Chains A and B, each alone.
Chain A
Amino acid sequence: MGKNNHDDTITDYQVYNLLFSCIVGIQVLVLPREGAEVGGIDSIWIVFISGALVFGLVWVIGALMQKIPRQNVIQFTESVLGNKKRRWMGKFLALPFTLVLGGLWLWISSTVTRGFAEVLDAYVLPDTPQLVLMATIVAVSAVAVSNKLVIIARITEFLTPFVYLAIPLFLGAFANGDLLNLLPMFQCDWKDVLKGVLITMCSFSGYSVLFVYMAFFQQPEKSTRTHGVAILVATLFFWLTVVSSIDAFGAWEVDHLVYPTIEDVKGVFVPGEILDRFDALFIVMWMINIFTTIIVIFGAAVELAMTYLQLKEKRRIWVAIIYGFIVCFLAQYPANIYKLWKWSRWASITEMIVILLVVGIFFILLAVRGRRKEEEHASSPS
């Protein structure tokens, strides 16, 4: 039966959902505290600067990937650095990229998994061992990532709209707060602003998966606008949580809360008393989003291994299971929640460095390929 090619590619709307659900995950729960810690009330506008800078990083990834349509970074490396006679050379030189990017994504997946398990432990299932929770999260994620990336894109497409259900809760919490808590603004010096920007930028993690996902985009050449919209909406979402939390508690108190967003939602009152407390419900709603974050990043790592090892589709489940064990192992590494936050921040900083390095190297490779083609063209008899 004739296959519809469009069904095996990722549509613009799916691109938006992928990027949005990859960025907006566990960090929403801690971002107000991290922002307030350095920038105080000024974190309200600092988050926009971070959003703009993150868009810059996403833009450079997009610019690179648009030059190599229908290929991910590994396929491109192998095609440029190897040739028909020395295919192993391309394979060998692609190995560092596979290890660095794959390792990075497994690391980020592990921090999200652990962070999620910490939240569940604190609010929903206090008696269940954390290892059980993490193993369950990873097992379910492995089921999801044992499918092609197009299916992962569909999962995010279907589930992302549910994330917007949290907006009324944030607005309700905002209405309960005190507007005076949002004043006075512009008290930070430029050093604190820079630090605040860097810290809030760390909340936007995972977007480097575009190195893999863009190979499946239906219209990679038109993806910049969609990326922009996704980053903008994610930034607005982050901004809403920051404003709502500071409005409810004030910057000083937010700085001292472990999960200010959850505490913020806890105070929401529903007329008619249908539900008494909203924190557990909010976490349950948020679970969906955290799952999508994990599977988007975890799925990219699995796809990278599949591409590099050129495995058949039926082997994907085994890659997912092996990686699942690695994620579970890495997630146990931080000894406590404070170390987890540091671990998570370092993962995000590493991601930014890796993006800049990879993009830089690949633009050089593109130039080399361009020159080689020119030489071949000049030497060929016309």
Chain B
Amino acid sequence: MIKRIRRLRKRRKNDVLQQNAKKKQKDRVDGVSISSDVEANLDYFETLLDKKNSNDLIVRRFTIQYTTECKAGLIYFDGMSLTAGIDENVFEPLMLMGKTLDTKKDLLEAVDQSLIQFGDVKRITKMEDLVNNTLGGNVALFVDGYAEGFIIGLKGPHRRSVSDPRSETVIRGSREGFVESMRVNTALVRQRLQDPDLRMKGMTVGKRTKTPISVAYLDGLAENELVEEVVKRIEAINIDGILESGYIEEMIQDNVWSIFPTIQNTERPDTVVAHLLEGKVAVIVEGTPNVLIAPAIFSQFYNSPDDYYERYLIGTFIRLIRLLSLLISLSLPALYISFISFHPEMIPPQLTIAASAGRETVPFPSIIEALIMELSVEILREASIRLPGLLGPTIGIVGALVVGQAAVTAGLVSPLMVIIVGLTTISSYATPSYNAAISLRLLRFPIIMSAGIFGLFGVILLSFIILIHLLKLRSFNVPYMAPFSPLRLSDLKDSFIRVPWQYMNQRPVIFRAENDKREEEVKSGGQKQP
């Protein structure tokens, strides 16, 4: 009883503390107006951001030379704003050029229209907006005697430059990948899609991180309800911080418990543009090169930009190979266990004999052997990613070769199992999408166990359950297994095959684009041979 009372008291105390913390955070900036006294504004900032303990906060008091002298204050964070730009475009004109102006404008008008020599300037009356913008890297300016402030968009370009997308390499196609700056990313999209209908709806998510987000879509092409739904789901996110698009992905997807991704992420601007042209929506998040695309269907995850850039026959062939790899990566070890342990009569006798001879010294049943090998490969894979620089692949190869060879020589695993696991591992790398590939890698383990218990019957059973799950999944109201189920014949043109562009005049029906035709007629531009 006493324990219960203590627990209740503790819980109540925690609740009160949490509420107070929230109130404090809200009270600090909410509803505070900018004062006409510049000192009061600067003091407010210094107190709010605790100047003594924030050594990157720069608060500069200076005098504007105009018809008369006027006190002013500038606030920014060192390293987050362009220092050279501040000197050249703000300090220099305000401190030196004001007197030379031949105008009788009000000081604030003159600062806004004539003195600050920068394009992105906003006049702000709320302290909250001013604080948020300064925290985002912009520069805040106060002028004494005016209850208004300026936000000057001098964010510093401290990001890495555009480079190859590391996780989605292609043989043919653009070498540009997204970077961590949202503005650079939106520019990369806009450069490729110079359409006046392209919209980039700005939002901010994360109570503390205040991460900027752009929801990109083509107005008049993407279904209005889809855009509204994406925006609504993002607006509903209530979290203190967003550090990567993965946070958003997890919080706006349809089924949190599913192992399969229902939102695609990409590092490639051309992929984003291709999907926008199909009537989808992209979510670009500050601080990450991974852009989200919604809705997403299963077949999307084994498509690569190469398929569209190569001729259609080659594209189709590569896509089929990838599909085969997907099946191998999911089921090959399970099939091996089924055949060896349950149905040896199904495989030719020579193979059965060879497999049995290889397993003669192996002390484990084939299911344990497969699980040990698969786990070892997963550990090796994870280790090779974490190892620094060039060491990773080297250790991976050496580890696989040395450990594999030693295990076979020691009689711990059969040579056939090494081949099976090797093939499975290679196949799993053929899936272009990392998050789809990892789902299949994970599912391989239960399928192996199921095969170990029921043989082929077990493989079918589990595949059946996975299929039911896939058929039930939806991504923003689009059935995940479309166009196969529900069958949309016209959309099969770009599914496990790809037909020539001339025959893909219609946009995929399943995404319900407002305008379902790409053009009246997609023409090849080539001449027919006589």
Contacts and interface: CB of A to CB of B under 8 A. Distances in A.
A164 to B, nearest CB: 15
A144 to B, nearest CB: 5
B454 A125 contact: yes
Interface in B481-498: 481, 484-487
B446 to A, nearest CB: 13
Nearest to B230: A1
A151 B468 contact: yes
A2 interface: yes
B347 interface: yes
- Classify chain B's interface size: 20 to 34
B441 interface: no
A124 B467 CA distance: 23
Nearest to A9: B486
Contact of A287 (B348, B460, B471, B479): B460
A147 B342 CA distance: 32
Nearest to B481: A158
B456 interface: yes
B20 to A, nearest CB: 38
Contact of B465 (A4, A13, A140): A140
B456 A124 contact: yes
Contacts of B455: 124-125
A7 B481 contact: no
A284 B486 contact: no
A155 B477 contact: no
Nearest to B474: A7
Given A14-B486, A125-B454, A154-B471, A140 B461 contact: yes
A284 B456 contact: yes
B471 A124 contact: no
Contact of A128 (B347, B454, B460): B454
Interface in A119-167: 120, 124-125, 128, 133, 136, 140, 143-144, 147, 151, 154-155, 157-159
Q: Is the interface of A mostly helix, strand, loop or mixed?
A: helix
A155 B349 contact: no
Given A1-B476, A158-B467, A284 B487 contact: no
A155 B456 contact: no
A147 B479 CA distance: 14
B345 A280 contact: yes
Given A144-B468, A151-B472, A158-B481, A276 B347 contact: yes
Interface in A254-287: 273-277, 280-281, 284, 287
In this complex, the member of A120, A140, A280 whose beta carbon has the largest number of chain B beta carbons within 10 angstroms is A280
A63 interface: no
A374 B283 CA distance: 59
B193 to A, nearest CB: 25
Contacts of B367: none
Given A1-B477, A2-B225, A158-B485, A143 B346 contact: no
B464 interface: yes
A377 interface: no
Nearest to B223: A2
A49 interface: no
B228 interface: yes
Contact of B226 (A1, A133, A136): A1
A236 B348 CA distance: 33
B503 interface: no
A288 interface: yes
B310 interface: no
B487 A11 contact: yes
A276 B481 contact: no
Contacts of A151: 468, 471-472
In this complex, the member of A120, A125, A274 whose beta carbon has the largest number of chain B beta carbons within 10 angstroms is A125
- Classify chain A's interface size: 35 or more
A291 interface: yes
B77 to A, nearest CB: 40
Contact of A280 (B346, B485, B487): B346
B260 to A, nearest CB: 15
Nearest to B344: A276
A277 B457 contact: no
Contacts of B226: 1
Contacts of B190: none
Interface in B425-465: 454-457, 460-461, 464-465
Given A11-B487, A136-B454, A158-B471, A291 B345 contact: no
Given A1-B477, A4-B477, A154-B485, A120 B457 contact: yes
Interface in A300-323: none
B461 A136 contact: yes
A3 interface: yes
Given A1-B226, A11-B486, A143 B468 contact: yes
Contacts of B208: none
Given A124-B457, A284-B460, A154 B481 contact: yes
B343 interface: yes
Nearest to B477: A1
B481 A4 contact: no
B456 A277 contact: no
Contacts of A291: 464
A276 B487 CA distance: 35
B452 to A, nearest CB: 13
Contacts of A276: 345-349
Contacts of B454: 125, 128, 136
Interface in B248-268: none
B229 A124 contact: no
B512 interface: yes
Contact of A284 (B225, B457, B472): B457
Contacts of B346: 275-277, 280-281
22 contacts: A1-B229, A2-B225, A4-B477, A4-B512, A124-B343, A124-B455, A133-B457, A144-B464, A147-B472, A154-B471, A154-B479, A154-B481, A155-B467, A157-B486, A158-B471, A276-B345, A277-B346, A280-B343, A280-B346, A281-B346, A284-B457, A288-B464
Interface of B: 225-226, 228-229, 342-343, 345-349, 454-457, 460-461, 464-465, 467-468, 471-472, 476-477, 479, 481, 484-487, 512
Given A4-B512, A14-B487, A284-B460, 9 more contacts: A2-B225, A128-B454, A140-B461, A143-B468, A144-B464, A151-B471, A155-B467, A158-B467, A288-B464
